[in-house]
Amino acid sequence: MLTYHANNTAANYGTRLQLWKHSYSLLLQRPLLGNSPNQLEEVGGVKFRVMQSHNVYLKIGVYFGIPALIFAVLFHLGMLHSLFRATQVLSSPYKDFAFCTFLSFFWMVAQGLVSNAEPVGEFHSAALLAGMSGVTLGLAFPTTQD
């Protein structure tokens, strides 16, 4: 997975597709445990550090293997499903908060398909979204203790 930066939009999309294909081939090389993020790869006699694939899910698969990729996808889909259910259960004004949280989480998942972010993303954004999600799910599905 080599990072290439270009100002030309057409070149960016073509290069991104090449990065995804290369990432997929790296994923198939070590599908269970993944590759080291510090791995060096030789291309044309020059060593490059394995870098961004511009797809968080491919990056998780390449670095940590297919089991981690499956876990990440299922976790994100589960959170989206739970947050969507929260929008159906809660009443105003909590319903609006739940809907905003759902949209924020959906945006984070969608952005992960084309972003150059780390698997966890920006720490402060991820922490804020995790807090919002926790509050939303706590309001929607409170636990009862006898």
Is 35 domain-assigned?
yes
Counting the structural domains of the chain, the total is 2
Cβ burial, residue 142 (10 Å; 0-12/13-18/19+): exposed
**What are 18's two structure tokens?**
């090449």
CB 76 within 8 A of CB 106: no
In a domain, 18, yes or no: yes
Quote the pTM value.
Answer: 0.68
Residue 32 lies in a domain: yes
User: 73 with 17, same domain?
Assistant: no
Are 83 and 77 a contacting pair, CB within 8 Å?
Answer: no
Residue 91's pLDDT is 83
A 10 A CB-CB count for 13 gives: 12
pLDDT tens for the chain, residues 1 to 146: 444 444 444 445 567 788 788 888 888 988 898 887 666 565 555 555 555 677 888 888 888 899 999 998 898 888 888 888 888 888 877 888 888 888 888 887 777 777 765 545 555 566 777 777 888 888 788 766 55
Query: Looking at residue 66, what is its pLDDT?
Result: 93
Is 81 in the same domain as 33?
no
Dihedral over alpha carbons 111, 117, 119, 121 (to 10 degrees): -80
Q: Where are the beta strands (DSSP E) in the chain?
A: 40-43, 46-49
Cα Rg for the chain, rounded, in angstroms?
Answer: 19
Let me know: does 76 contact 102? Beta carbons within 8 Å.
no
Q: Decide if 139 contacts 90 (C-beta within 8 A).
A: yes
**Any domain includes 47:** yes
Domain limits at 29? 9-54
What span, in angstroms and rounded, lies between the C-alpha atoms of 45 and 48? Answer: 10
State whether 118 and 80 are in the same domain: yes
> Do residue 25 and residue 74 come from a single domain?
no
Looking at the fold, whether 93 and 118 belong to one and the same domain comes out as yes
Q: Are residues 15 and 38 in the same domain?
A: yes
Q: What is the pLDDT of residue 107?
A: 81
50/87 same-domain check: no
According to the model, what pLDDT value does residue 67 have? Answer: 94
75 plus 50 within the same structural domain: no
**77 belongs to a structural domain:** yes
